[in-house]
């Protein structure tokens, strides 16, 4: 099952096992079961610390990862290869007793959860977001005996996952819990744990407080800390939307990386400095009070700082048409890399004719029955080479001057209705999926009227990253900077931090 290189890498990791691990497998005569058993036998033969046995489990094929003297709390239903192979290896290490690489405060919050939490996550082996969720829930299962987690490969359990239209899809105690990438801190907060508001209220005022966890915010926090300033950082998740980026090839000095890898590197770099990081919380409002900036969080806590740097980035822009919200994750999707495999052999549409939209249509044409690209304008805005590639595909169609009007269906999406802008005629397309690729909208609602924004909601900044309010700075995709690029956001974050330092010196 494993090639020579992967087997050599695995052997190095298995040397780190600190205790005995038992793999309990439930296998049948199907190919997936055979592949699973081949993988498990190969792994078990590489170390004496792993024992393999067979039993009857809830799903076949599946296997549990546990300790000899405990009931197993981690289950893999399917064959954890592809992006999930790392999840399997980490589960082996952590169940063996090796300490997870996680903040001690987060581990303490997990340990405090006292209610039974039985998680199930439907994944795709091609999904780049899924491993983060699987690894987070596996870690929680290792730390707290009240928690169990099962990873379910939708491609293996097709009948069971037939209504799953987006991955990862997380269920808690049989009920829908969440979808998309979620961090440990986000999951803990959602089940009633997380940061305590009273504890946050008791924190001393910062010299620099950064809101956001993406490249701009990371650079700002690091530069501020390097100046010796008391620095705080409020972020829903480290990496921000970079976590949802598949491949990155334009970060100068780094020939090629992925969004999750870069996000992990950002987190490690942040932890190298004395930065008070508060994750899985978001800013609710900001206010300038005398010489201080007060930030209210969504859990009711308030933080105070002499200066503030806003680097909250942007999110996928919604079409804001009837049916979009109702059919989100039931046919409406935003990430073709992650959710595309769920629409294999089906008819789909992509809304948006820029590079992202055309690239999505090309990728989807390779796995779906048919893909229709809808562009509001007269012509596509994507690079010519991408347009030519899409036009050459026999199962693709391009429709310009199309204004999406409505999405309809019963339990799942089944039809898209659009208006021909040049004729006013209304037309419909029968389909099972729509991928929205119409750009980004800045995450700036929480600033209200405190700082000036343009008509697109972007915070207006000068060349130093300063807003119209003294002591408040902004950087990255949430601002009116011309180009939305990772490397530009990093530079803007550094500029904002240096400007905040200069402001503190002068005031």
Residue set of the binding site for NAD(+): 347-361
Contact 218, 242 (CB under 8 A): no
Contact 220, 311 (CB under 8 A): yes
For 444, the token pair is: 């700036």
What gap in Å lies between CA 268 and CA 265, rounded to an integer?
A: 5
For 84, the token pair is: 């999930």
**Residue 3 exposed, middle or buried by CB count within 10 Å (0-12, 13-18, 19+):** exposed
For 236, the token pair is: 């829903």
For 170, the token pair is: 């997380």
Q: What sign for the dihedral angle of Cα 172, 178, 179, 185? A: negative
| Bind-site residues | 207-222, 347-361, 467-477
Q: Give Cα separations from 334 to 88, 180, 329, 404, 470 (angstroms).
A: 27, 10, 9, 16, 37
For 221, the token pair is: 């926090």
User: Could you say which of 132, 185, 339, 478 is catalytic?
Assistant: 339
| Bind-site residues for FAD | 207-222, 467-477
> Is 298 noted as a catalytic residue in this protein?
no
User: Could you say which of 127, 132, 244, 338 is catalytic?
Assistant: 338
User: Could you say which of 335, 383, 430, 502 is catalytic?
Assistant: 335
> Is 127 noted as a catalytic residue in this protein?
no
Contact 63, 36 (CB under 8 A): yes
Going through 424-495 in order, the beta strands assigned E by DSSP cover 426-430, 433-436, 440-442, 472-474
Residues 6+ apart with CB under 8 A from 22: 50, 51, 52, 53, 64, 65, 66, 67, 68, 72
Residues 6+ apart with CB under 8 A from 477: 214, 216, 241, 313, 314, 440, 442, 484, 489
| Chain centroid, CA 114 distance in Å | 27
Residue whose C-alpha is closest to residue 266's, from 502, 489, 466: 489
> Is 478 noted as a catalytic residue in this protein?
no
Q: In the Cβ-directed half-sphere of 81, how many Cα atoms lie within 13 Å? A: 16
Contact 463, 491 (CB under 8 A): no
Contact 239, 339 (CB under 8 A): no
Based on its alpha-carbon atoms, the radius of gyration of the chain, rounded to whole angstroms, reads 24
For 404, the token pair is: 């999406």
Residues 6+ apart with CB under 8 A from 467: 310, 451, 452, 459, 460, 461, 473, 474
Residue whose C-alpha is closest to residue 220's, from 181, 302, 277, 262: 277
Q: Are strands 472-474 and 302-310 parallel, antiparallel or unpaired?
A: parallel
Q: Which helix (H) or strand (E) holds 399?
A: strand 396-399
Q: What sign for the dihedral angle of Cα 111, 113, 116, 118? A: negative
Three-state DSSP state, 75: strand
Catalytically active residues, by annotation:
335, 338-339
């Amino acid at each position: 099952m494993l090639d020579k290189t992967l087997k050599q890498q695995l052997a190095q990791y298995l040397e780190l096992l600190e205790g005995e691990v038992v793999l309990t497998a439930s296998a049948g005569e199907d190919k997936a079961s055979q592949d699973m058993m081949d993988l498990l036998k190969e792994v078990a033969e590489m170390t004496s610390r792993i024992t393999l046995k067979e039993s009857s489990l809830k799903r076949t094929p599946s296997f549990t990862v546990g300790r000899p003297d405990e009931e197993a709390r981690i289950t893999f239903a399917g064959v954890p290869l592809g992006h999930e192979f790392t999840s399997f290896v980490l589960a082996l290490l952590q169940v063996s007793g090796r300490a997870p690489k996680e903040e001690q405060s987060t581990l303490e919050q997990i340990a405090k959860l006292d209610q039974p939490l039985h998680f199930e996550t439907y994944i795709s082996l091609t999904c780049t977001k899924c491993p983060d969720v699987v690894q987070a829930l596996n870690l929680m299962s290792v730390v707290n005996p009240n928690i169990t987690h099962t990873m379910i490969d939708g491609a293996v359990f097709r009948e069971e996952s037939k209504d799953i239209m987006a991955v990862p899809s997380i269920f808690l105690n049989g009920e829908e819990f969440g979808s998309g990438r979620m961090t440990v801190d986000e999951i803990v907060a959602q089940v009633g744990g997380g940061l305590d508001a009273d504890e946050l209220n008791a924190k001393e005022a910062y010299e620099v407080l950064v809101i956001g966890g993406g490249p701009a915010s990371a650079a700002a926090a690091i530069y501020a800390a390097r100046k010796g300033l008391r620095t705080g950082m409020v972020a829903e998740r480290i990496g921000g939307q970079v976590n949802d980026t598949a491949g990155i090839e334009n970060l100068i000095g780094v020939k090629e990386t992925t969004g999750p890898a870069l996000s992990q590197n950002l987190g490690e770099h942040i932890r190298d400095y004395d930065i008070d990081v508060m994750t899985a919380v978001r800013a609710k409002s900001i206010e300038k009070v005398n010489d201080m900036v007060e930030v209210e969080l969504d859990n009711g806590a308030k933080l105070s700082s002499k200066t503030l740097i806003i680097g909250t980035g942007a999110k996928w822009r919604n079409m804001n048409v009837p049916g979009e919200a109702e059919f989100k994750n039931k046919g409406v999707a935003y990430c073709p890399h992650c959710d595309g495999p769920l629409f294999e052999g089906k008819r789909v549409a992509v809304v948006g004719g820029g590079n992202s939209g055309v690239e999505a249509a090309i990728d989807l044409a390779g796995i779906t029955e048919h893909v229709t690209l809808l562009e509001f304008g007269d012509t596509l805005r994507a690079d010519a080479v991408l347009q030519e590639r899409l036009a050459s595909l026999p199962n693709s169609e391009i429709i310009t001057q199309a204004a999406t009007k409505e999405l309809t269906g019963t339990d799942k999406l089944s039809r898209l209705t659009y208006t021909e802008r040049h004729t006013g005629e209304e037309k419909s397309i029968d389909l099972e999926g729509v991928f929205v690729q119409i750009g980004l909208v800045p995450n700036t609602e929480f600033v209200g009227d405190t700082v000036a924004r343009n008509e697109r909601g972007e915070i207006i900044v000068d060349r130093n990253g300063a807003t119209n309010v003294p002591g408040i700075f902004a950087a990255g995709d949430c601002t009116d900077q011309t180009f939305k690029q990772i490397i530009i956001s990093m530079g803007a974050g550094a500029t904002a931090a240096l400007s905040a330092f200069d402001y503190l010196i002068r005031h």
